């Protein structure tokens, strides 16, 4: 049975929490949970870059406590804190133990496990809102860093003909397949990958990851996205906008839309060449 590391940052400001959420995935964390006074982060035991974590904490002036959890204990804790996510009149994201609600265009079921992307974080909400403004009908889509698969599932619900959903985390791949079955979608192909070498060209590319990964793969994403295709990216703090646009504008053209939520941003591009 797998075991997981729980790191608890207590008594931190919302701004510090945002910085941690942006940077912790690079250190091996694949699940995060905001608490009333701080942040909890989760990773497979033994997969965390503890040296980088301690350096980051020293730079931010924060401390943490840690615990090791067995899989069933982690899932029980996660489920007890998982609330539905509502985009009024548009999307209702819930777990299987929440009741279904009427009055929404789309309802998505997400198994509340360790994968990132339940709709609670501002970046996922902005990605969903941005997707609602795009035409997915008959389009081929890439969801890069799929997490729970929430964006891939929404893409199919919005009319995508096919979706490639990739992630570099084994837990995520298992969770995505479970969520695909829960939502009865059939046009999503899931793959374990941390590069874009073997991914098919696409008409729409979704990437809710973080600044460093986005910058590292910008050129590869530009090669995969067809002319006149759309790119929607997030996992970005407002301060990241200048650095992102310096790299992405020459590859895709100027951003056509900016979404902002609680210090986080998402950017949409239409590939002009």
Residues 195 and 243 grouped into a single domain: yes
For residues 210-225, give the mean pLDDT. 94
- The whole-angstrom separation of Cα 208 and Cα 197 is 19
Task: Kindly report, residue by residue over 245-267, the tens digit of the pLDDT.
Answer: 999 999 999 999 999 998 899 99
Give residue 217's domain range.
Answer: 116-270
Q: What is the pLDDT of residues 65-83, one digit of tens each?
A: 988 877 655 556 656 667 7
* Same domain flag for 239 and 152: yes
Q: State the pLDDT at residue 259.
A: 97
In this prediction the pTM is 0.80
Distance CA 142, CA 199 (A): 8
Domain count, the chain: 2
- Rounded Cα distance between 241 and 254, Å, is 12
Inside any domain, residue 106: no
Answer positive or negative: Cα dihedral of 220, 226, 227, 229.
negative
- Say if 102 falls within a structural domain: no
């Amino acid at each position: 049975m797998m075991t997981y590391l729980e790191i608890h940052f207590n008594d931190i400001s919302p701004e510090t929490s945002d910085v941690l959420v942006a940077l912790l995935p690079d250190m091996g964390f694949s699940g995060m949970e905001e608490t009333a006074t701080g942040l909890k982060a989760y990773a497979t035991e033994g997969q965390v870059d503890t040296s980088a974590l301690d350096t980051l904490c020293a730079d931010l002036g924060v401390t943490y406590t840690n615990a090791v959890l067995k899989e069933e204990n982690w899932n029980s804790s996660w489920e007890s804190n998982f609330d539905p996510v509502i985009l009024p009149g548009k999307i209702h994201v819930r777990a299987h133990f929440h009741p279904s609600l009427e009055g929404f265009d789309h309802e998505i079921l997400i198994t509340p496990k360790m994968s990132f992307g339940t709709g609670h974080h501002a970046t996922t909400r902005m990605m969903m809102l941005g997707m609602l403004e795009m035409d997915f009908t008959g389009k081929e889509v890439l969801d890069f860093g799929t997490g729970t698969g929430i964006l891939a599932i929404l893409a199919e619900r919005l009319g995508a003909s096919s979706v490639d959903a990739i992630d570099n985390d084994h837990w995520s791949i298992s969770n995505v397949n479970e969520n695909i079955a829960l939502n009865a979608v059939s046009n999503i192909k899931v793959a374990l990958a941390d590069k874009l070498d073997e991914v098919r060209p696409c008409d729409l590319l979704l990437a809710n990851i973080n600044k460093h990964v986005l910058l590292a793969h910008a050129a590869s994403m530009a090669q995969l996205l067809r002319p006149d295709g759309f790119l929607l990216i997030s996992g970005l703090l407002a301060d990241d906008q200048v650095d992102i646009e310096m790299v992405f504008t020459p590859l895709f053209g100027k951003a056509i839309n900016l979404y902002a939520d609680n210090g986080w941003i998402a950017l949409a591009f239409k590939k002009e060449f």
